[in-house]
A and B are shown apart, each in its own frame.
Chain A
Amino acid sequence: MDITLLLTSTVTLASGIPLTLLLTFASLLAGFVLAVPLSFMRASSRKWLSLPVLAYTYVFRGTPLLVQLFIIYYGLGQVGAIRSSVLWVLLRDPFWCCLLAFSLNGAAYTTEIFRGGIQAVATGMIEAAQAVGMSPLQIKRRIIFPIAFRSVLPSYANEVISLVKATSLASTVTLLEITGLSRKLVSETFAPYEIFLAAGVLYLGLTFLLTGFFNALEARLNGAPRAKAHTRRVALQQVTHEL
């Protein structure tokens, strides 16, 4: 292991952080904007609203992101109508293809997460809002979604971390974010240990920062963190001790 190489490649790979972050946050934002209305449709008791959304989330969560990305990047060009449309300007660019793939994929997961939160909101909260005369939109915006979002924040945080990691697939369509840069560097130097470890360290840093951010957000939104299952642990450790 060459420590100097590890350090220099960390510095080199750090220049890929902006692109990784751009891909992450842009698809996070797009995914969120898509997921909010879709999750309400998905939570609806009306089948014609919920079933199409279920079909979307089922397919996007049931197939690899890599395939989705390749369908968008390589596959759409096969369709003449797309090649000749104005959209082709964006769709032949790997950056926009990644953004589209990551947003659609992330939105599918986020939709299901939000749906769970929406369906878990107690009916009493909604009745109280109806009783003061709020409109359905006001109730969704001011009561249901804020309560649902708070309750699913830990799952949503996991989804954001997954998204950071998912951006590494951008390297397969020639983008030079952290992973893309590291693959390029390895092919030039053939020192995979140092370089991929350096990339791993950078990703760890990013995921740690985001985890910290979400823990702080959760504490802020929900007050003091709930007490852990302490007694259980003690009982378990007693059993383990006797082993």
Chain B
Amino acid sequence: MLREPAADHGIRAERIQKRLGGNDVLRGVDLTVRPGEILSILGSSGSGKSTLLQCLNLLTVPDRGDIWVHGEKLAIRAISQQGGQARILDHRQVRRVRASMGMVFQSFNLWPHKTALENVTEGPVLVKGIRRNAAADLGRHYLAKVGLSDKADAYPRHLSGGQQQRVAIARALAMEPRVLLFDEPTSALDPELVGEVLRVMAALAGEGRTMVIVTHEMAFAREVSTRAAFMHRGLIEEESPPQEFFSSPVSSRLRGFLASHR
């Protein structure tokens, strides 16, 4: 993967606010992800961590706040006083930015009518305009990377949850993104299948990729991340390198959270 350090300013989100279903899910969050960084976001359910992640590639449009991705400010119109919805102003830009950020979902979200390989190649073909057979080579390469070379022609319904999630990771990788976003990638998996997905993610972390991981896997976050953040009620309560984060947390809430997730 080519990276131009000078041009890559990572991601910066400032004062992100989002109200969903009458709740203030995000209450003015600031977040920075530097290139090469592996940031784990922890927090109890409802703390806003998944919404924050979805704001970074605008799958959820924040009501207020600014987002820069790779040095480019995203064009969003904030929510108006009259109750008008916040919305994307430059769809072209958003598509370009999304293509540069791979996303892995909690429930895999593989397209059921396409084979594992087609799931992986669809993005490169449609979004990047790569020719079908070149994309197929690319797809096979990334399926091999997640250890699923033999499942290229299998449909999602014939794959286990762990295999589906690995295909989803290959799908994100095939766009050769500059950042990978993981939204609780192992939460929907049976316990015995969690390991295979975490191993793939650890291998990716070892390549020096920029990753943002929303997760409940404490041991994994501690081992793999370069920085960890704790969210509580729509704000980042504490963030620090993993050693400090897990060994000497400052906030009492984080201490309580860590104690209850041991």
Contacts and interface: CB of A to CB of B under 8 A. Distances in A.
Interface of A: 122, 124-125, 127-136, 138, 142-143, 146-147, 150, 221, 223
B96 to A, nearest CB: 7
5 smallest beta-carbon distances between A and B, as pairs: A133-B99, A132-B123, A128-B109, A124-B109, A131-B103
Interface string B119-136: 000110011000000000
Given A130-B98, A132-B175, A133-B96, A138 B126 contact: yes
A131 B111 contact: no
Given A124-B105, A138-B126, A132 B98 contact: yes
Name the residue in A122, A134, A146 with the highest tally of chain B Cβ atoms < 10 Å from its Cβ.
Answer: A134
A132 B99 contact: yes
A131 B57 contact: yes
Given A124-B105, A223-B157, A131 B113 contact: no
The contact size tier of chain B is 20 to 34
A124 B107 contact: yes
B155 interface: yes
Contacts of B158: 223
A138 B107 CA distance: 22
Contacts of A131: 57, 59, 98, 101-103, 105, 172
- Output the residue of B101, B110, B123, B172 with the most chain A CB within 10 A: B123
A150 B113 contact: yes
Contact of A132 (B113, B127, B155, B157): B127
A221 B113 contact: yes
B184 to A, nearest CB: 13
Contact of A134 (B103, B110, B123, B157): B123
B59 A134 contact: no
A121 to B, nearest CB: 10
B171 interface: yes
B113 A128 contact: no
A133 B105 CA distance: 15
B95 interface: yes
Contacts, number: 69
B84 to A, nearest CB: 15
A133 B100 CA distance: 8
Contacts of A134: 95, 122-123, 126-127
Nearest to B97: A133
Given A124-B105, A147-B111, A221-B113, A132 B59 contact: no
Contacts of B191: none
Contacts of A142: 122, 126
Contacts of B97: 133
A1 B229 CA distance: 86
A150 B112 CA distance: 10
A147 B110 CA distance: 12
Nearest to A131: B103
Given A132-B123, A142-B122, A125 B109 contact: yes
A132 B105 contact: no
A62 B157 CA distance: 39
A130 B113 CA distance: 17
30 contacts: A124-B108, A125-B109, A127-B59, A127-B109, A128-B103, A128-B105, A128-B109, A128-B110, A128-B111, A130-B98, A131-B57, A131-B59, A131-B101, A131-B102, A132-B123, A132-B126, A132-B127, A132-B172, A133-B95, A133-B96, A133-B99, A134-B123, A134-B126, A135-B91, A136-B91, A138-B126, A142-B126, A147-B111, A150-B113, A223-B158
B111 A133 contact: no
A145 to B, nearest CB: 10
A131 B97 CA distance: 9
A127 B122 contact: no
Contacts of B57: 131
Nearest to B119: A128
A136 B98 CA distance: 13
A143 B110 CA distance: 10
B240 to A, nearest CB: 29
Contacts of A125: 109, 111-112
Contacts of B112: 125, 147
A132 B107 CA distance: 16
| Best-buried of A125, A129, A133, A138 by chain B (most CB within 10 Å) | A133
Contact of A146 (B96, B103, B113, B127): B113
A150 B155 CA distance: 14
Given A127-B59, A128-B105, A221-B113, A135 B95 contact: yes
Interface string B159-188: 000000000100110010000000000000
